[in-house]
Amino acid sequence: IDSGVQGFIIYARSGYEDINVYKHLLKRDVPLIMIDRYYPELKVDRVVYDDEKAAFDLTSHLIARGHQRIAIIPGPEVETTSVKNRLMGYQKALMHHGVTIQGELMWFGLYNQPNLNRQDVKHKQQCLDKLIQTRPTAVLMINDSIYERFSHDLSDLEFELAGLDEGGFALEAATFSYRMLPESSTLKLIALQPGEALGRK
């Protein structure tokens, strides 16, 4: 502010540790715009995607493809509005299409550490155990980073995401991404949400 900055575009951290800083700025009449995620308690402008609708559409498309057991991996930032809204869209789509919401398919404990060591064999085994125990036919990843970690872990375990066993168990994936992802036999749906569009807006 002292150097002449007249406003801030804020990509908020997960959690609400910084809220008092933003409240202080607002008291000083400094304009703030929150981008991609926001703090509901703050009355500020925001530029975000409709994450709830995107998750509703992705889940609906998976259901249209014949899936009834759709797992979701929220990742570590469950307090952010973008993740909360995607979870809400997922649940609303299941209810809308008459598919029972099953807690065992909401994998909150998987990838709930931001900087997990990719060489952690125990964690890779946890991924496999989740698949075997809950038997989803599709998985909705909360972002492309989670998708890549999940694919990487199963690959390291010498399992393919599609055709996990000889019984014809095939797993399809959907995710949200700011960019196009490499073609895959498993990744069927992407909600494209490029950051450039948010920046322009």
Q: Is pLDDT of 22 > 60?
A: yes
This prediction's pTM: 0.89
Check residue 166 and give its pLDDT.
46
Give the mean pLDDT of 32-54: 95
Using pLDDT thresholds of 50, 70 and 90, give the confidence band for residue 155: confident
Mean pLDDT (the chain, rounded):
88
Give the mean pLDDT of 1-6: 92
Residue 104 is given by DSSP the state G
Q: Are the beta carbons of 80 and 44 closer than 8 angstroms?
A: no
Dump pLDDT digits (tens) for 58-99.
Answer: 999 999 999 999 999 999 999 999 999 999 999 999 999 999
33 φ, ψ (degrees, to nearest 5): -130, 125
SS (H, E, C) 139-170: EEECCHHHHHHHHHHHHHCCCCCCCCCCCCCC
Dump pLDDT digits (tens) for 89-147.
Answer: 999 999 999 999 999 999 998 888 766 565 567 777 778 788 888 889 999 999 999 99
How many CA atoms lie less than 13 Å away from 16 in the CB half-sphere?
10
